[in-house]
Amino acid sequence: MANDINVVVLVGRLTRDSELRFTNNGTAICRFSLAVNRLKRSGDQREEEVSYIDIVVWGKQAETLNPYLVKGRQICVNGELRQSRWEQDGQSRNKIEVVANNIELLGGSGTSASESNGNYQRNQAPVSDNSSGRKGPAYAPPVNDFPGPEQFDDDIPF
């Protein structure tokens, strides 16, 4: 029997700030909703149609990304569809959501630069550095190992 393919790639904006919770055994779960727009032609006119998709991220990735997943932020989600089924008040219920395998932060938060910085500060709490108890930032600044133009003494070969 052939394997089926269950791959989802979405680019959209968060409709609300992400919500981080933990299971009883300590596994992190981050949930949020993504608005994905598409243009729909109606005769000579184009209409924008919006789909709202629930996303869930598990584990360390959920903890790491949570501070950056703020309302209005544009992201790219790679994952797979999962259907949950349960009974509630005697009725069968189900829900389809995307379980994210990889999330890439894209453009800004959808607000001006000064406002978006405030959004990121809401959850930027320091994290422990191993067991030493020292605190450090939740992110590492980019390393620039590229030598500047003043360090090149070579003549242009042509």
pLDDT digit string (tens) for the chain, length 158 residues: 678 999 999 999 999 999 999 999 999 999 999 999 998 888 888 888 999 999 999 999 999 999 999 999 999 999 999 999 999 999 999 999 999 999 999 976 555 433 444 444 344 333 333 334 444 444 444 444 444 445 445 565 55
CATH number of 8-126: 2.40.50.140
Q: What is the pTM of this model?
A: 0.64
Q: What is the 3-class SS of 100-131, one letter each residue?
A: EEEEEECCCCCCCHHHHHHHHHCCCCCEECCC
87 residue type, one letter: E
